[in-house]
Amino acid sequence: MDLPISTEDLTRLFRFALLLTGDEGAAQQVLYDACVDTAARLCSYRNEDQQLACLVGSIRQKARVATAPVVADPRAIVRGFITLPEEERVALAGLYTGLLPARLLAEALKMSLEQMGRALKSGRERLERAGLQMGEPSLEQAL
Amino acid sequence: MKSEEAAVYMQSHCAGLPGTEDPRIAKAVRVAEKDPALKPELARLREQDGRNLAAVEQVMLPPAFLGKLAAGHAEAARPFSGKAFFAQPVVLAIIIGAVVLLGWGGVSLWNRSQDFPGKDSVMRMVEVNDEMTGMEMEPKKDSAAALDDWFFDKYGFEDYYLAPGFENYQTAGARLFKQDGQPVAQVAVPDHNMVFFSFKAEDFGLSLPNDQWRTFRDGDWVAAVVQHDDESFMVTFRGSGSDMDSLLQGLKK
């Protein structure tokens, strides 16, 4: 498949899919399906940001219907994300993967910058609490 | 920018990711850095993001995925089959186009099969029915066949012709009018609220095989026209094609 996407961006997209689905297999499938579905459209976009925004939207849609993980991912950050409501999860995953400038990310997620700000605040708080409940004051220490 | 706004916008700031910030977010961060209430929150946010970002960046794309994606090229390039093929917009457009063309062609063929020389002229006669007020006709209560002499005596019209089976219908009124300068006899019949027309075929370019009915619709009206040598007769009434078929079949019995 000829995608106008670098391996570095594919890696970011995979992280985004993983944080949304909570499962590596499901993340691969979601990313693969999104690439297949958008491959023809991507070349028609004028710049890389628009291509990434298209993929972000497609991954979000597919992750919503992906099956929930049967076995919890060993990574605390992934387990923490799966506890978040979808809007907070997608906003924080989008921010942490650095795929798009914040304004474009909000557009791709169909939110205003204010809505995304509130979702991020609440998502961060929830994620912190989830980390503490798991007995991991720092999620990175769980790795 | 007020502190409340800055508190919201600064949430979209992620220190570890340069180049992802909107000017409003950058401004919110500058405001927060100077605001005693927001400054500790910004520091907490940065610290948390630093930890989480480090964890996220540990996640790498499985090497097998790139192979799968490359293999997908062959799959994606494979011709579509079954439902997927027909779901393609281009294929759908072709199918819809073909259906429209076939439909249009079918309608055209059907129309052509219903056409006959002089049809436009006889259709205009049918349309005359709608333009009448009832005052145009002369009251004439008699059998349709008996009007032959009346048309000749009153108008000198020699081409009054009734198709077999219509002779005994009782009339209510009659007149002779001209269409394109050519005479047409018109007779009102109370039964079925029918209107008969009689005219010379060649005056209106009508050309039908002898004694073979042609039925057509025009608005609410249904009409059947028949030619016998150079004489023609048309019966019209408000109804459907099947009503006309029943009438004509009743005549044969």
Cβ-based neighbours of A100, under 8 Å, separated by 6 or more: A49, A52, A53, A56, A94, A108, B20
- The mean per-residue pLDDT over the stretch B119-147 comes to 89
Number of domains in chain B: 2
Cβ contacts of B58 on chain A, cutoff 8 Å: 75, 143
Assess if residue B78 is contained within a domain: no
Q: List pLDDT tens digits, range B23-33.
A: 888 888 989 99
In a domain, B215, yes or no: yes
**Is B22 a domain residue?**
yes
**Interface predicted TM-score (ipTM) over 0.85:** yes
Is there a single domain that holds both residue B27 and residue B134?
no
B89: left (phi over 0), alpha (psi -120 to 50) or beta: alpha
pLDDT at residue B107 tops 80 = no
Band of the pLDDT at B77, cuts 50, 70, 90?
very low
Residues B210, B138 within the same domain: yes
State yes or no: pLDDT of B72 exceeds 90: no
Q: Is residue B126 part of a domain?
A: yes
The residue among B192, B190, B193, B179 whose CA lies nearest residue B232 is B179
Number of domains observed in the structure of chain A: 1
Q: Is residue B87 part of a domain?
A: no
pLDDT bin (cut points 50, 70, 90) of residue A143 is: very low
Is B77 part of a structural domain of the chain? no
Whether B143 shows a pLDDT value over 50: the answer reads yes
CB atoms A98 and B17 under 8 Å: yes
Per-residue pLDDT band at B116 (split at 50, 70, 90): confident
* Rounded Cα–Cα distance for residues A85 and A118 (Å): 13
pLDDT cut 90: percent of chain B above it: 47
A64-69 average pLDDT score: 80
> Has residue A1 been placed in a domain?
no
Paired tokens of A99: 């795929």
Whether B76 and B84 have beta carbons less than 8 Å apart is answered as no
Whether residues B44 and B122 fall in one domain: no
Asked whether residue B227 is assigned to any structural domain, the reply reads yes
At residue B79, the pLDDT reads: 46
Range of lowest pLDDT (A128-132, B76-80, B207-211): B76-80
How many CB atoms neighbour CB A32 within 10 A?
Answer: 18
What is the structure's pLDDT at B112? 65
Give exposure, B168-188, as e/b (b: 16+ Cβ within 10 Å): ebebbbbbbeebeeebbbbbb
Cα(A71)–Cα(B221) distance, integer angstroms: 76
In a domain, B96, yes or no: no
Sign of torsion over alpha carbons B150, B151, B156, B160: negative
Residue type, B171: T
- Six-digit token pair at A76? 């605390």
Q: Tell which of B56, B76, B91 closes a domain.
A: B56
CATH number assigned to the domain comprising residue A34 = 1.20.140.160
The boundaries of the domain holding residue B178 are: 117-252
Q: B164 vs A95, B67, B144, B227, CA distance in Å?
A: 91, 86, 11, 11
- Confidence (pLDDT) at A12: 94
Residue B65 is nearest to which of A14, A100, A118, comparing CB atoms?
Answer: A14
Q: Which two tokens stand for residue B248?
A: 């004509």
Q: Is the pLDDT of residue A62 over 50?
A: yes
Strand ranges of the sheet holding B173-179, from the earlier edge strand across to the other edge: B138-139, B173-179, B182-189, B194-200, B231-238, B221-228, B214-218
- Among B20, B49, B73, select the one facing A101 at the smallest CB separation: B20
**B25/A102 CB distance under 8 A:** yes
Where is average pLDDT lowest: A15-19, A44-48, B180-184? Answer: A44-48
Minimum mean pLDDT range among A37-41, B108-112, B121-125, B176-180: B108-112
Note the pLDDT of residue B83.
60
* A70 domain residue, yes or no: yes
> Considering only alpha carbons, which residue of chain B is nearest residue A23?
B59
- Per-residue confidence at B74, pLDDT binned at 50, 70, 90? very low
B120-148: average pLDDT? 89
Q: B49 with B124, same domain? A: no
pLDDT score, position B78? 46
The answer to whether the Cβ–Cβ distance between B62 and A127 falls below 8 Å is no
Query: Taking a C-beta distance cutoff of 8 angstroms, is the pair B189, B173 a contact?
Result: no
Q: What integer is the mean pLDDT of A66-93?
A: 87
Q: Is residue A35 part of a domain?
A: yes
Q: What is the pLDDT of residue B86?
A: 65
pLDDT higher than threshold 60 for residue B50? yes
For residue A53, what are the domain limits? 7-136
Strands B214-218 and B182-189: unpaired
Question: Whole-angstrom Cα distance, residue A100 to residue A106?
Answer: 9
Structure pTM? 0.54
B39 and B123 inside one domain: no
* Residue A39 confidence (pLDDT) above 60: yes
The reply to whether residue B54 touches residue A140, judged by beta carbons under 8 angstroms, is: yes
Average pLDDT, chain A: 86
Min distance B80 CA to chain A CA atoms (Å): 14
- pLDDT tier at B102 (50, 70, 90 boundaries)? confident
Residue A141: inside a domain, yes or no?
no
Who has greater pLDDT, A23 or B72?
A23
A-interface mutation test, from B20, B45, B56, B60, most A Cβ less than 10 A away: B56
